[in-house]
Amino acid sequence: MERTAALSRDQVIEVSAKLGEPRWLLQKRLAAWETFAKLPYPTPRTEEWKYTDITEVPFEELPLELPTGKPKAIPQAVRDRLAQAQLAGYAVFVGAELVHLELPEELRQQGVILTSLHQALAQYPDLLEAHLFKAVNWADWVGPQQNRPENAKIPALNAAFFTHGVFLYVPKNVAFSKPLGVFKYLEGGQLSGSRTLIVAEAHSQAVYIEEYLSPSQVPPSVNTSATEIVLADGAKVRHAHIQLLGRGFYHFHRQRALLQRDATLNDLVVNMGSSLSRAEVQSEMLGPGSFSEMLGLYFTSGTEHVDHYTLQHHVADHAHSDVLYKGAAKDQSRTVYAGLIKVAQGAQKTDAYQTNRNLLLSAEARADSVPQLEIGANDVRCSHGSSTAPVAPEELFYLMSRGLPRHMAQQILVKGHMTDVLTRIPIEPLRQYIESIIEEKVRI
């Protein structure tokens, strides 16, 4: 597909003006635009994109999704989720529009902030200027040490043209365990972009779930998202990114967490929708005693393609990380996983693990897995491994011989394959919801 020059510097300025942004943010957007305009798109010749071809993705052929200012109702799919999710508070976006927000008065009184990015820009400008683009910054991929700057292309696109987002701020020593949920319902046919910024101050605790939903079938659509998680000393955050977009969507997500001394991040990424999706999830252990748990679940069918990249970057000593990504593929679909444990010089006593397991439900399905280590210290404990295998025919036969139809037998085997990830999700309604999605995906 030949790309057209539908996006421009003038459009960046127009978007920023329409959203009423401060000058410093416009300057950030323009810097991102300059990066986007000069870089090529990544191709399979780019090592990190070796198994994913995006040459047909219409990044620059779609209209940009912008707030309309017109009231919109909460979609039924989101209403169904709200009835089941058991949340402390929630926000709902339809396209680029924030249509509903609820935050308990108890949390407000403690200083917790949950709002849209642009409302936060007006009400808490100092917090936003101090933290926005701190974790996910396109410039991190175009410095003199980067030999594949095209990895900055899509993050720069997001930074230049994002039109909505979420800001969660948890003050020092404030803790809550009931989740806050954010639902982003995309109607399709457009280029949409959003950002999420989570700032957890020292010794705070929070639980945050973000879900992407859409109609089951949409015209060609592109969504870019970026999530920044900033954890101060001793902060603990449980975070989930759940992507259930319809066929026709191309979804690109980049997430990076910065963990200071004794901070803990429990992260979950679920990709069970869209025609093509790529999630890049990174944790930077910047302080001793920090810990990052990175869980992933994915299921593909038809001709869907899902690509995951994880980075466990150990900068400080005595830090810990654990990656466990498991998925299944059927029909002619394809899954990709690449992960890197990177240990800096001086990051002694690092304890890091990385595991990827894949289950194939058809002869045409494919899974590629590339776990990697890059160790710069000599007193560490690091391991990585992966496996890909078809469903054992004797197991399927055994269950079917007991009277189960084939799809139910496959449901049991797939859920069994993913059990060790599911059991590490302590939020019962969320776990049940993910299990129901798996059952439905197998049955279709």
- Mention every residue, 6+ apart, whose C-beta is less than 8 A from residue 418: 297, 326, 327, 328, 438
Kindly report, residue by residue over 356-407, the tens digit of the pLDDT: 999 999 999 999 999 999 999 999 999 999 999 998 888 888 888 888 888 8
Q: Which two tokens stand for residue 96?
A: 């680029």
Full 3-state SS string of 125-175: HHHHHHHCCCCCCHHHHCCCCCCCHHHHHHHHHHHHHCCEEEEEEECCCCE
- Which of 204, 208, 206 lies closest to 174 in space, CA to CA? 204
Residue 141 lies in a domain: yes
Residue 118, CA atoms < 13 Å, CB-side half-sphere: 19
User: Cα–Cα distance between 75 and 245 in angstroms, integer?
Assistant: 14
pLDDT of 140 reads 77
Q: How many Å apart are CA 172 and CA 235, to the nearest integer?
A: 8
Q: What is the pTM of this model?
A: 0.95
The answer to the question of residue 436 being in a domain is: no
Q: What is the pLDDT of residue 170?
A: 98
The pLDDT of residue 441 is 86
| Beta strand 164-170 pairing with 191-200 | parallel
Q: What is the pLDDT of residue 139?
A: 80
Residue 385: helix, strand or coil by DSSP?
strand
Kindly indicate the confidence band of residue 202, based on its pLDDT and cuts at 50, 70 and 90: very high
Cβ(210)–Cβ(186) below 8 Å = no
The residues, any chain, with a CB within 8 Å of residue 27's CB and separated by 6 or more, are none
394 falls within a domain? no
The reply to whether 416 falls in a domain is no
What mean pLDDT comes out for the span 261-282? 97
The secondary structure of the chain in percent helix, strand, coil, rounded to multiples of 5, reads 25, 40, 35
Please tell me the predicted confidence (pLDDT) of residue 405: 86
421 occurs within a structural domain: no
CA-nearest of 179, 359, 185, 161 to 273 is 185
Strands 164-170 and 113-116: antiparallel
Q: Is residue 381 part of a domain?
A: no
What range does the domain containing 194 cover?
A: 9-274
Question: For residue 91, is pLDDT > 50?
Answer: yes
424 domain residue, yes or no:
no
Mean pLDDT score, 237-255: 98
Its sign, for the CA torsion 67, 72, 75, 79, is: positive
Confidence band for 211, pLDDT divided at 50, 70 and 90: very high
- 136-172 per-position pLDDT tens digit: 998 877 654 556 789 999 999 999 999 999 999 999 9
Specify the number of domains making up the chain: 1
Rounded CA separation 188/166 (Å)? 20
- In the chain, DSSP finds a helix count (H) and a strand count (E) of 10, 19
**Structural domain contains residue 66:** yes
